[in-house]
Amino acid sequence: MGEHWEKYDNWDAAENAWDQRAHRLQKTQPIKQLVSIPELPAIRPKTKKNLRWKALNYLAKYDEEKFFIRYFFSNPLKHGYNLLRSYLTPLPFKRDKDFFFYGLKDEDEFKTILAKPDSLLIIGFSYCHKPFECPSKRFTQDCIHDLNNPVCGQCFIGKCVHSLPAKRVLPVFITTVHQIGEVIVRQVQKYPKLEVTFLITACEMTLQMFGDWGNMMRVRGVGIRLGGQICNTMKAFVASEHGVKPGMAVVLDETKKRVLDLIRFRREQ
C-alpha cells in the first residue's frame, strides 16, 4: 500500500515529494476540481424529519441478501439492546467539526485504539470524492492508486492509500452503506481477538443515518464529513447508492490534514 512512502526515510520527506509532484501534475495534466465549495445545508429540513426511521427502512429495503437482518437476529437481545440505547440518545455520535466520533469521546481516545498492537483499522473512502477521471471508474470498489498515473497523483484517496502502513490496515472503496457495513461485520467476525475500528468518509446525512447501526455492533470509530456537492435529500442519497452521482464531494483542506495526521500516527506506532 505505501509504495511511495516506502521510498523515503520519514513521513515529511515522503509527503513533500508527493505534494510537489501533485502540484506539477495540476499544471500539466489537471483533473476536474470544484472551483468553489457550495454552501449547502447538510440535510434538507424535510429529509431530516424521522431520519432514523428512514435509515432503518432503507437498510431493510435494500438488504437484498438479508445480511443485516441475519446479523441482527444472530443475537437479537444484545443487538436490540445496543440499538435501543443508541436510539435513546439525541444523536448517535459526538462531533468535532468534520469528525464524527462513534463510541468515542474525542480524537485522543481514537488514537489510543490506533496505538494498540491488537487493533485493525478499516479505512473507507466514499466513491463520491473519487475524481471524475478516476482510472478505476467512480462507482466501483476498485482503486489502482498507480504511482505513474497522473490522476492518481492528484487524488487525495491515492495519497492516503500510499501513506498507509503495511500491517493491520484494510482500505475499502465504498459504493454503498451495505457494502461498508458488511465489511465491518465480516472483519469483526474474522478477527474476534482484534479491536476493529474505522475511519470512513461520507456525507453528513449518511453519517447521521447509519451511526446507530455502528453503535449496535459496538464498533468504535470515526466518520469524516464530506463537503462540496453532497447528498442532502433521500432522493439524491438513493440515486448515489445506485451509481448516479453527477456532482463531486470533497474532503475539506483542514480535514485532509487531520486525516493524514491520524494515518501518520498509525504508521509510526
Which residue, chain included where needed, has cell 472551483?
A: 35
The answer to whether residue 34 is domain-embedded is no
Cell, residue 16 = 513533500
Which residue, chain included where needed, has cell 500491517?
A: 167
* Residue 115, helix vs strand vs coil: coil
pLDDT tens figures, 120-140: 999 999 999 999 999 999 999
Enter the pTM of the model. Answer: 0.96
Domain that holds residue 15: 5-29+39-267
The answer to whether residue 169 is domain-embedded is yes
Cell, residue 2 = 505505501
Which residues, 6 or more positions from 12, have their beta carbon under 8 angstroms from its beta carbon? none
* Tally of structural domains, the chain: 1
Average confidence (pLDDT) over 49-66: 94
Q: How far is CA 134 from CA 104, 128, 184, 208, in A?
A: 34, 11, 25, 28
The percent of residues above 90 in pLDDT, for the chain, comes to: 98
| 1 pLDDT above the threshold of 80 | no
List, in sequence order, the alpha helices (H) in the chain.
11-28, 45-48, 51-61, 67-73, 76-87, 107-114, 156-163, 177-190, 204-209, 211-217, 234-241, 253-267
253, with CB counted inside 10 A (0-12, 13-18, 19+), is: exposed
The answer to whether residue 74 is domain-embedded is yes
| 175 pLDDT above the threshold of 90 | yes
The percent of residues above 70 in pLDDT, for the chain, comes to: 99
